[in-house]
Chain A
């Protein structure tokens, strides 16, 4: 069974550009979570989608947005990129209503903003 897949693995952008990151959950998982991990820091919660709806949002500006598609895959969009947006962006998926022990992470997208 395939795990959580994220693309691209690496993404290099310049300040002011837009970045789009993609995530495909494990088959049967309906919830998708996005986290940001800046260098040397812990994971900061960005967004939670379930059944196509945004369920919760972390303390990030509106230029961080996303969506979940009918097949439960998800996109994270970051507009007007700033240098401090450089980080590892991790996507995780879980079955709906599951506790955290059924939450699995993808390998992440390393975003570098120059």
Chain B
């Protein structure tokens, strides 16, 4: 079992719709959760982080965390073609300070 799992996609979304991305993690002691956006050929860019159960909103992005289900999600509202990218879920475990990444979900927003 991978430590952090994501559906590789591609997730095809019409412009203006909501994109919903999911991520599960295996270590119940994981403490911190992150979503990165990575454009092709570029380095990852942090877009959201969440530490507590529930929802966290930032602009068009909402991160949702459910530690009991070991599940974190990202919603992108009013999707734009510029949102087309690979979205990486990352987790920091209780021990150590490194980020463990999922394989990423490729999102395609079609005009």
Give the size category of B's interface with A. Answer: 20 to 34
Q: Which of A53-83 contact B (CB under 8 A)?
A: 55-56, 58
Contact B34 A101 (CB under 8 A): yes
Residues of A within 8 A of B100 (CB): 45
Contact A43 B96 (CB under 8 A): no
* A48-B98, A56-B97 given; A100·B92 CB < 8 A: yes
Which of B44, B51, B102 is A90 in contact with, Cβ under 8 Å? B44
Number of A-B contacts defined by CB within 8 Å: 58
Which of A31, A43, A50, A108 is B101 in contact with, Cβ under 8 Å? A43
Residues of A within 8 A of B92 (CB): 99-100
Which of A42, A58, A100, A104 is B49 in contact with, Cβ under 8 Å? A100
Which of the listed residues B32, B44, B49 has the most CB atoms from chain A within 10 Å of its own CB? B44
Q: C-beta contact mask, B61-92 vs A, less than 8 Å → 1, else 0?
A: 00000000000000000000000000010101
Residues of B within 8 A of A52 (CB): none
Contact A55 B96 (CB under 8 A): yes
Q: Which of B13-59 contact A (CB under 8 A)?
A: 32, 34, 42-46, 49, 51
Which of A45, A100, A108 is B43 in contact with, Cβ under 8 Å? A108
What is B's interface to A at a CB cutoff of 8 Å? Answer: 32, 34, 42-46, 49, 51, 88, 90, 92, 96-104
What is A's interface to B at a CB cutoff of 8 Å? Answer: 31, 33, 35, 41-45, 48, 50, 55-56, 58, 90, 92, 97, 99-101, 103-108
**9 sample A-B contacts, Cβ–Cβ < 8 Å, listed by A number:** A35-B101, A42-B101, A42-B102, A50-B97, A97-B97, A100-B32, A100-B34, A100-B49, A100-B99
